[in-house]
Amino acid sequence: MNVGNVTAYNVTGLTSGTTYYYQVRAVNSCGTSVSSGTITYATSPATPSAPTANAGTAAACTQITANWTASVNASSYRLDVSTVNTFASYVAGFQDLNVGNVTTYNVTGLTAGTTYYYQVRAVNSCGTSVSSGTITYATSPAAPAVPTSNPGSGATCTQITANWVASANATSYRLDDPQ
pLDDT of 65 reads 96
- Are 163 and 150 in contact by the 8 Å Cβ rule? The answer is yes
Question: For the chain, which residues make up each domain, given as ranges?
Answer: 52-138
Kindly report whether the global pTM for this prediction surpasses the value 0.85. no
87-91, 144-148, 174-178: least confidently modelled range: 174-178
pLDDT band at 178 (very low <50, low <70, confident <90, very high): low
User: What confidence tens digit (pLDDT) does each residue in 88-134 have?
Assistant: 999 999 999 999 999 999 999 999 999 999 999 999 988 999 999 99
Range ranked top by mean pLDDT from 60-74, 138-152, 156-170: 60-74
User: Domain 52-138: which topology?
Assistant: Immunoglobulin-like (2.60.40)
